[in-house]
Amino acid sequence: MLEALKNKINSIFSKIFLLILAASFALWGVGDIFSSNNNSSVATIGKLNVSADDFVKTYQRIISDLNNNTNGQITEEIAKSLGVPRQTLGQLINEKLIDIEVNKAKINLPDEHLRKIILASDVFKDQFGAFSKQQFEYVIRQIGMDEKTYFNEIKKAVLREQIKAPFNNGNDLSPVFKNLYYDIRNEKRNLKVVTFNASSFKIENLPSEQEIEDKLNKASNLYQKPEYRSFSYISIKPDDLLDDIRIEEADIKNEYDNYPEKYNTTEKREVFLANFNDQQEAIKIANLIKDNNNDGNLSDIFTQIISDSSELDSEKLNLGLIEYSDFPSEISDSIFKSDINKLIGPEETAFGWRLFLVSKINPPISRSYQDVKDSIEKELKVIKALDKMYELGNTFYDEIAAGNQIEQAAIAIGAEVKEFSYVDSNGKDLDGKIINDLPPYQELLSTVFANELNESSELVNTIGNTMFAVQVNDILEKRIMTIEEARNQIIEDINLEKSMALALKSAEKFSKEVNANNFNKTAEKYNLIVLDTSNVSKDGSGAEGILDRESLQEAFNLKEGGISSPIKYSNKSYLVFNVTDIISVENRNEEQLLSINAELSQSISRDIEQLFINHLSNNQKIKINENLLNSLFENDS
């Protein structure tokens, strides 16, 4: 998600206020850069420093921007868990390293050039595309800067970009690669594959007791009983409370009278509409639509012809289902007087020349009080039930706070207690069978295994407004199985190992004997089925269910005619294959070619820039005030 936000940065202005949150600061984890010196700087870089004030302001701007760009999905707590504070400081230190190089290079930005940059920024333009002083003042006020501070930050950012220019993503390296990387990535291969399944080399003799014991001792981590927990469960949901709730007739009638739009719907029409600047273009397209209308779906013809004959986006032609009030009356009058499936226009409007058609009409629906009385009553009951649930939740917490067990709390709120004995984290019982009557809530088992013995959990809200709580009554700790418990699995595993050893021996013999010219004959001699795979790509398409990642990689390492060594597949077989053909790329997709080369160019540019930053960091004494940095977050709620 953070990388996606990074890609939204379109100008030098926004780069300043939304730091690049990539884990690119290579200094983290190097012990000698940390310092506990007590000063007002979070970090010092040579003779420069990152003040606590600068760090906090930058961090707060990032949190604000992240929330704005993700509709509040990235809270400050989540940001901390993702390491944003450290990444923020890392980016600020990177900037100081580059500032040192700017000073060394003695480069400057003339005020006139800075003025041109700001005047040209779309951020500060009004609706007519002209620079707006009011807009400028509003923007810098929103980011908590005055004019002088803002000019200084812009100047620094531009000069930093000058130093980093040799490494930025604007450098097109595609001429270096031309078609090479594209051709390697899109090369395909034809293969012949044979499989040596362990199941074909069955072991008849059972392993000895000593073998079984040795296997358990050497691989005890494979033979363990998971942790099991017994717990009590209570829940409350709105449906449990509905029978005891009474709604007055007057309340139902008031709901109906006060919110008529909930029970009565106006007419809606699905509309396809296109605006054209030129009347002749609109007439020409209207004629094309009429000429191609063969009593088919006119909306499809409308969309297809306009998409093919103009620069209008076909996806924006369908306005969806609209009501009369959705548009100004001059537009709605025309739309809601039109017949269905009939092309209207061209009509002249303030926006140019309009063509439209109505493809579907949903007539108005009017429901009487008697029609909706029961549904309104149920809706009001649910609302009251939800209020009652929260009251019961408070009662539950009071009971638990008083030292009562979950059973007493359940009695106080009228909830039923259910007992579940010895369940593992996957919902299985002591015999490894799925427990079918567990409550169907995703949060249930994680809640059970997150709480201590004899402690009640918090009330958990689930889908459907159900609230539940659990109390752990007993815990069987995770342990190594006894020989008797693990015997059958150990015997199966030992025999599989022996079968795999025989399969490998046979595969190695086959691999040495076979060549490209006798692959089928040798396979027949070994009673093997040859699988032919055609047009196998590096992403595995064409070899689904036959090759895995490792064998796929080997297939593209071999030359034409090459025979692979045996490769283990899914721990139950070995593969040997022959590369029969290497299919070179003939027709290149130019759009994909440009995209791949751009992707590679950007990746190399980022790597080179990172090497540059690492080099600069090695030439400067960097200290981080850990005590101050940690103290900035100690009192956060």
Tell whether the model's pLDDT for residue 355 goes beyond 70. Answer: yes
Instruction: State yes or no: cis peptide before 346, omega within 30 of 0.
Output: yes
Residue 599 belongs to what H/E stretch? helix 590-618
Which of 45-49, 206-210, 258-262 reaches the highest mean pLDDT? 206-210
Which of 233-237, 377-381, 471-475, 514-518 reaches the highest mean pLDDT? 471-475
Which pLDDT score, from 0 to 100, does residue 270 have? Answer: 93
Tell whether the model's pLDDT for residue 9 goes beyond 60. Answer: no
Give CA separation, 20 vs 23, 96, 147, in Å: 9, 15, 24
- Higher confidence at residue 527 or residue 114? 527
Tell whether the model's pLDDT for residue 191 goes beyond 50. Answer: yes
Strands 264-265, 34-35: pairing kind: unpaired
Domain 2-170+604-634 has CATH 1.10.4030.10: yes
- The residue-averaged pLDDT of 291-306 equals 84
Which pLDDT score, from 0 to 100, does residue 29 have? Answer: 31
Which pLDDT score, from 0 to 100, does residue 35 have? Answer: 37
pLDDT in tens, 556-601: 999 999 999 999 998 899 999 999 999 988 888 777 777 777 777 7
Instruction: Name the band, by pLDDT with cuts 50, 70 and 90, for residue 230.
Output: very high
290 SS3 class: helix
- The residue-averaged pLDDT of 479-501 equals 94
The answer for residues whose C-beta is within 8 angstroms of residue 513's C-beta and 6 or more apart is 522
Tell whether the model's pLDDT for residue 239 goes beyond 50. Answer: yes
Q: Are 502 and 199 in contact (CB under 8 A)?
A: no
Share of the chain above pLDDT 90, in %: 35
Please give the full DSSP string across 424-491, using - where no structure is assigned: -TTSB-TTS-B-TTS---TTHHHHHTTS-BT-BPPPEE-GGG-EEEEEEEEEE--EEPPHHHHHHHHH
Fold for the domain defined by 228-244+376-479: Chitinase A; domain 3 (3.10.50)
Which pLDDT score, from 0 to 100, does residue 172 have? Answer: 57
Residue with tokens 């009001």: 380
C-alpha to C-alpha distance for 554 and 547, rounded to whole angstroms: 10
Which pLDDT score, from 0 to 100, does residue 26 have? Answer: 30
188 SS3 class: strand
Q: Minimal CA–CA distance to 201: which of 442, 597, 528?
A: 528
Give CA separation, 97 vs 35, 50, 87, 331, 504, in Å: 18, 11, 15, 60, 56
Q: Average pLDDT over the chain, rounded to whole?
A: 83
Tell whether the model's pLDDT for residue 234 goes beyond 50. Answer: yes
Q: Are 231 and 423 in contact (CB under 8 A)?
A: yes
534 SS3 class: strand
Tell whether the model's pLDDT for residue 307 goes beyond 70. Answer: yes
Share of the chain above pLDDT 70, in %: 89
C-alpha to C-alpha distance for 434 and 440, rounded to whole angstroms: 13
Q: Minimal CA–CA distance to 284: which of 309, 317, 303, 316?
A: 309
Tokens matching residue 151: 């000019």
Which pLDDT score, from 0 to 100, does residue 127 have? Answer: 61
> Is 428 exposed, middle or buried, given 0-12, 13-18 or 19+ CB atoms closer than 10 A?
middle
Angle formed at CA 218 by CA 213 and CA 221, multiple of 5 degrees: 105
Give the CATH class of 188-219+486-583.
Answer: alpha beta
Domain residue spans in the chain?
A: 2-170+604-634, 188-219+486-583, 228-244+376-479, 264-366
> Is 264-366 in the same CATH topology as 2-170+604-634?
no
Instruction: Name the band, by pLDDT with cuts 50, 70 and 90, for residue 169.
Output: low
Which pLDDT score, from 0 to 100, does residue 594 have? Answer: 77
pLDDT in tens, 537-560: 988 899 888 999 899 999 999 999
What is the CATH code of the structural domain delimited by 264-366? Answer: 3.10.50.40
pLDDT in tens, 452-468: 999 999 999 887 788 99
